[in-house]
Amino acid sequence: MIAWLIIIGAAAGFLATRIMRVETDVITTIAIGIAGAVVGGLLLRFLLSVMGMLAGLVGAVLGAILLIWLWKTYFKR
C-alpha cells in the first residue's frame, strides 16, 4: 500500500511540477505528489458529500442540454 502511494505520488508530483513549471528534486516531487493526493482526496470527498444532490442536478441539466443540442443539430431541419 505504501509502495503504491509512493508510485502514484511520484507520478502526480512529476505531472504537477511539469504543468506548473517548477524544478524540484525527486524527494520533493514525490512529497508534493503525496501531499497533493491527500489534499485533493479530502477536498473531493468534502465536495461530493456537500454537493451530492446538486451534482446530480448539474449532471441532469448538462445531459438535457446535450440532448437538446443533438436534437436541434441533427433532427430538426
Enclosing domain of residue 17: 2-75
- pLDDT digit string (tens) for 31-55? 888 888 888 888 888 877 777 777 7
Number of domains in the chain: 1
- pLDDT digit string (tens) for 7-31? 887 888 889 889 988 888 888 888 8
- pLDDT digit string (tens) for 58-72? 778 888 888 888 888
CB 30 within 8 A of CB 6: yes
CB 8 within 8 A of CB 33: yes
Runs of H (alpha helix) within the chain: 2-19, 26-50, 52-70
pTM exceeds 0.85 for this model: no
Mark 32-60 as b/e (b = at least 16 C-beta within 10 Å): bbbeebeeeeeeeeeeeeeeeeeeeeeee
Compute the chain's Rg from CA coordinates.
Answer: 20
